[in-house]
Amino acid sequence: MRHFRKRPLEVFQCALERWIVLIMPLIIRRSLRTGLGGVYVRGCWESFPYAAVIALNHHSWWDGYLLWLIRLKISRHVGGLMDPDQLGRFRFFRKLGMIDARKVRKVLKRLQKGQSMFIFPEGELRKPGRVKHVFKGATYLSSKARVPLVPIACRVVLRGGERPEAFLNIGIPRDLENHNGTELIDDLNLLLDEVDSAIGVADPQEIPEGFVTWIRGRRPANERNAWVERFWRF
């Protein structure tokens, strides 16, 4: 049997992908800590289903990084569906569990083996607001693989600090029975409304009631420079 050696460029690309996979968690965590004022969550994330289709609204540049954080916090091997063009340009995402969104059978196989999968049912980045339309992929995969569907609302807003804050609201897992796209839209909008309501009545410099801190971002300038005020008072 003839053995074909990889070309130098292929060897370099493989090594680079492995290196990126190793440092990506550090890059993401640092970006969340320095780019956001904090990440806060509410919902039953500690009793997350072992395998599920996880459906999030997609209204922010930060959503991809927040997926990684959810994956870390629920302590699950979670993959996700990704645009084939982007997956082709950034091949290292395959090693992070991402799958070409067109390969439905492969996604179903992973779900049936007990791996959860992220999906943005809106299909692409939308402007902040309410969810108006979702594709049927999330509900189809949940029904076909016979796993729960978990809606998660994500809202990134600028309040009383110098950096935006991310709020995640994890919904109750939906059984695969009697669930359709319209109900998923309703679920996501209800979760978003809960976030907006909590933010609306909270002190803009305090964590809204019912949320816990997952990541505390860099302290705002007024806190970092508080020593100047104390110095002048002295």
pLDDT at 16 over 90: no
pTM, two decimals, is: 0.84
The reply to whether 189 falls in a domain is: yes
The reply to whether 225 falls in a domain is: no
Of 116 and 5, the structure prediction assigns the larger pLDDT to 116
Q: What sign does the CA torsion over 26, 47, 76, 100 have? A: negative
What's the pLDDT band for 101 if we cut at 50, 70, 90? Answer: confident
The reply to whether 201 falls in a domain is: yes
Check residue 182 and give its pLDDT.
87
The reply to whether 2 falls in a domain is: no
The reply to whether 115 falls in a domain is: yes
The reply to whether 66 falls in a domain is: yes
Of 138 and 7, the structure prediction assigns the larger pLDDT to 138
Cα 143 to Cα 38: distance, rounded to the nearest angstrom: 35
CATH number, domain of 69, equals 3.40.1130
Q: In total, how many domains does the chain have? A: 1
Nearest CA-CA partner of 142 in 175, 185, 165? 175
Average pLDDT on 2-11 reads: 65
Rounded (10°) angle between helices 8-35 and 63-74: 90
Return the SS3 of 195: helix
Check residue 60 and give its pLDDT.
95
The reply to whether 233 falls in a domain is: no
Average pLDDT, the chain: 86
pLDDT in tens, 175-223: 866 567 789 999 999 999 999 999 999 999 999 999 999 999 887 666 6
pLDDT at 228 over 80: no
pLDDT in tens, 30-82: 999 999 999 999 998 877 888 999 999 999 999 989 999 998 888 777 888 88
Strands of 78-82's sheet, edge to edge? 98-100, 78-82, 116-119, 53-56, 149-157, 165-170, 38-42, 212-216
**Tokens 């809960």 correspond to what residue?**
194
Check residue 131 and give its pLDDT.
97
The reply to whether 102 falls in a domain is: yes
Give the range of the structural domain holding residue 210, as residue numbers without chain letter: 8-217
Check residue 229 and give its pLDDT.
59
Of 85 and 149, the structure prediction assigns the larger pLDDT to 149
